[in-house]
Structure 1
Amino acid sequence: MSQTIPPILSVLPTRALVDEKFKVLVENLPAGSPVTVHALHHSEDKDYWEAYAHYISDHKGTVSVAEDLSFGGTYTGKEPMGLLWSMRPVPGSQKGLRLRKMDVHSPMLVNISVYSGHIAEGFREQPPLASALTERWYMAPGVRRIDIREKGVRGTLFIPPGPGPFPGLMDMWGGSGGLMEYRSALLASHGYVSLALQYFSPGELKSAELEFKYFEAAFNIVKDHPQVIPDRVGIFGLSIGAIVTMYLAAESTIIKPRCCVCVSGSHCFPRGENLTIFDQTIIRNFHKVRVDENDYQIWRDLILPITSDLSLKVDMGKITCPMLLVNGHDDQSVATLECAEDITQMMHAAGNDHLLTRVHYPDTGHLIEPPYSPHFRATKYLVDTTKAKVTLLWGGQTKPHSDAQEDSWRKILAFLQQHLYSTSSPKAKM
């Protein structure tokens, strides 16, 4: 591509929260030039993730990722954020990788480059026409991060900037264990004191910390914090975290959440004092696990058919706070749609279905993350019951799953705003 003025690539804003859109613009190209726009991220696990798309510059020699059509690559069509949500491990990487931000003090750095021609490989072997670095943050400026080690509770508390007090959230991830902070950091960036709760370590599902008094103690740490409005504390759970959320909302006599968000969860497990019963349910039903043509494990049948025995599921008729269920039609890990239907029937029979809001999405899998996160159809997973590392099929197709992540996050924030803030409150900006 011969020209005298070099191309210019800009990414605006260069620094933003992960759920904010950016605009990628390439200028000073010859009119009608085929180019490839490429995104590259080097993860904290030292893996490389990439996305790319093929464009043709307009009569002014410009390509706008937000406004122009991609003709090929990891996504096609008009997709302003496709360079992020269609990211995948570079060729030759290990199978079953998952991209998650562990250190929320630092941004996710993404290098955006433009190359001459429509290419699909060899990006690191040829020089780009132009490049720009963008920072994607989970933690907005002024958000405070505090380690929690009190009353036996382990976690991290994120406090928004400003005088407060703020509504609060107890935030729980799923069965992979460990301490996941990035969603809580993002929630604090939107004005909520959020506790990222560690409720078992990887491979420790039988931990004593799974007694329900542990979750009640954690909830009260949020409620009693001086920066929290004590009667405006909710619970946010994904997968096993959503199971715990439903159980606490229905059964706890100690805590009364103002509202609950349950992503990809189930109400089907025996009631008891701790979650070792969940472990027993997996062991008892493990013969129902299927594998697909790639030898990926499918777990959604573990709780099917949905039982009619009330002692084997959360009594959703006892729910007294607004609850939002977010589910994918192609969840291959948990039978969430069947559970949602049963939850609806149980709450209708009890006369509390006015508290229930459901959103569900076609071709969407189990791992419904904050927006623009890459889609993971299947990843490696340590099975607590057998100590074996398998590849679990989570489900979903990249484009619709990514659309669902963006739409559901918008609905989740609106739900939290409605039930935890009495008046409109500005969110933190980069």
Structure 2
Amino acid sequence: MALFAFRLVGATLGRCRLTRLLLTPSRAARRCAGWRPQSSAFSTSRMEAGVKFSPAGWTFFDEPVVISVEGLRPEQEVTLRASLRDETGELFDTRAFYRADIDGYLDLSRSPALEGGSFSGLEPMGLLWSLKPQNPFRRLVKRDVRRPLVLELEVVEGHSASGRLLAKGAHDRVFLRDGVQRITVREGRVRATLFLPSGDGPFPGVIDIYGTGGGLPEYRACLLAKHGFAMLALAYYGYEDLPKNMKEFHLEYFEEAVNYMLKHPKVKGPGVGLLGHSKGGDLCVSMASFLKGITVTVTINGCIANVGATLHYKDITIPPLGFDVKRVKKNKSGLFDITDALDNPLEDPGRQSFIPLEKAEGRFLFIVGQDDRNWKSEFFAVEASKHLQAHGKEKPEIICYPGAGHYIEPPYTPMCPASMHLLVGSPVVWGGEPKAHAVAQVDAWQQIQNFFHKHLNGKQDKILNKL
């Protein structure tokens, strides 16, 4: 029997299973409180065409929206320009070329984009996932989940930038669902935000940890809460009174967060789940390996060795995995490619940096972008599978996405091909091909939810206490 197996999404390879994604519109979301939706379409006396969004007014950020234009001339050629600004004022925009049907109607769920724009082919959500920053090396990050991002759309005559404006509209992309509680957590040393779904509960609990950016990102936890999870977005450095930089971390801090969730009356036991991306991934693997009460762990392009900072737990110290700057390369654009910079954790003397994940009692899911240029995520996932099975543990699930880069985010988030790396101190490439990356994000989002629902519903074998 093979030591490992994984599912490849978007292509067929050997024994890997092909998954087909159906990007169909969801049902209209419920209205959120605290804000009013933008007008879904409007026109002036000189604008005979009109933009429509369905559902009208707003949709949740992780849900699709149908965009259409009516009132055009039969088979009229137009350019659709989409844009939004983040809280810092950074502008993200894109454009695509289209041709109306014989009735002067354009429906992006049925009409393919023509060659020459930011994307081509039938891409109903292409105007969102193809957004790019006007300033290089910027990543779209939602900081205040209580307010939506506003997508603005312009319809311009012809396939040139100087065409006459025919119609425009705006649509709100929402993060915080009406009824979801957003609770600031300052419990002992824990600095976090708890999102609780509406209803009496209890709900499956998940701790969400991000990578080297620091701070307290809430957007992923906020969106997952509306799918029925009690989500704790956990900060661990670069926030309030937490460590200012990545030098050393103490696992006892993360243990406090786990205990906080296990004791919360709205969190369903007997254990909690962990979700970590990049550096957050190896922190989650360390938590699962040393701490009690961890039922499932999901990592997104994570590592199986401790990286970036020394990790302490009681009398145990795990040094960070070494790296060699001589292995850093520059691509054709002159950007740093750090894929090969890290040492091989299997060749580390004494495997001092290797996380003893064989001690974990919970289940694992590894989400892998096969074009991850931050490090060798697929190699780490495969070696984790071998290691776990060699120690008599259950084979983890590995889902690989061809063409996906390092930042696999919630659906329809624009791919970030390159940005500043805080540890490197310079912009680095993250990898990914925009279309394939967009497909990966849609599928991974559902796979993560399915995995948590399956293993945190209280019907699985109870977590075993560690000695």
TM-score, with structure 1 as normaliser? 0.88
2:144 to 103, 112, 125: 103
Moved over 6 A (4+): 276-279
Q: Quote the residue 1:397 is aligned against.
A: 433
Unmatched tracts of structure 2, length 5 or more: 1-44, 460-467
- Tell me which moved more, 222-231 or 77-86: 222-231
Taking only aligned residues, the RMSD between alpha carbons, in angstroms, comes to 2.4
Counting only pairs closer than 5 Å after superposition, residues 189-228 of structure 1 correspond to structure 2 as 189-201=226-238, 204-206=244-246, 210-228=249-267
Letter in 2 for 1:87: L
Q: Quote the residue 1:236 is aligned against.
A: 275
Q: Give, in angstroms, the shift of residue 422 of structure 1.
A: 5.3
- Secondary structure class of the residue paired with 1:148: strand
Q: Quote the residue 1:67 is aligned against.
A: 110
Q: Quote the residue 1:10 is aligned against.
A: 52
Q: Give, in angstroms, the shift of residue 321 of structure 1.
A: 1.3
Q: Quote the residue 2:338 is aligned against.
A: 299
Contact 1:5 1:28 in 2 (8 A): no
Distance in 2 of aligned mates of 1:206 and 1:191: 33
Q: Give, in angstroms, the shift of residue 420 of structure 1.
A: 1.7
Q: How many aligned positions are there?
A: 405
Distance in 1 of aligned mates of 2:139 and 2:54: 27
Q: Quote the residue 2:171 is aligned against.
A: 134
Distance in 1 of aligned mates of 2:436 and 2:122: 14
Asked if 1:20 corresponds to 2:63, the answer is yes
1:34 to 66, 70, 77: 77
Q: Quote the residue 1:426 is aligned against.
A: none
What per-residue deviation string (whole Å, max 9, x for no partner) do you get for residues 324-375 of structure 1? 1001111111211111121111112112233x11101112111100110000
Cα 1:280–1:286 shift into 2, 3 Å: farther
1:344 to 369, 385, 388: 385
Distance in 2 of aligned mates of 1:42 and 1:342: 41
- Tell me which moved more, 286-295 or 343-352: 286-295
Q: Quote the residue 1:170 is aligned against.
A: 207
Contact 2:181 2:195 in 1 (8 A): yes
Contact 1:44 1:101 in 2 (8 A): yes
Cα 1:137–1:5 shift into 2, 3 Å: closer
Distance in 1 of aligned mates of 2:288 and 2:193: 22
2:185 to 148, 151, 161: 148
Distance in 1 of aligned mates of 2:359 and 2:375: 23
Distance in 2 of aligned mates of 1:333 and 1:158: 30
Distance in 2 of aligned mates of 1:226 and 1:404: 35
Q: Quote the residue 1:331 is aligned against.
A: 372
- Secondary structure class of the residue paired with 1:19: coil
More helix by share: 1
Q: Give, in angstroms, the shift of residue 153 of structure 1.
A: 1.0
Contact 1:306 1:338 in 2 (8 A): no
Percentage identity across paired residues of the two chains: 30
Distance in 2 of aligned mates of 1:139 and 1:311: 42
Q: Quote the residue 1:258 is aligned against.
A: 295
Asked if 1:86 corresponds to 2:126, the answer is no
Unmatched tracts of structure 1, length 5 or more: 424-430
Q: Quote the residue 2:352 is aligned against.
A: 311
Q: Quote the residue 1:248 is aligned against.
A: 287
- Secondary structure class of the residue paired with 1:415: helix
Distance in 1 of aligned mates of 2:299 and 2:98: 39
Distance in 2 of aligned mates of 1:69 and 1:176: 37
Q: Give, in angstroms, the shift of residue 149 of structure 1.
A: 1.3
What per-residue deviation string (whole Å, max 9, x for no partner) do you get for residues 282-319 of structure 1? 5x534433222333222222334341544331123223
What per-residue deviation string (whole Å, max 9, x for no partner) do you get for residues 180-222 of structure 1? 01001011111111111110118933466x2000000011112
Q: Give, in angstroms, the shift of residue 279 of structure 1.
A: 7.8
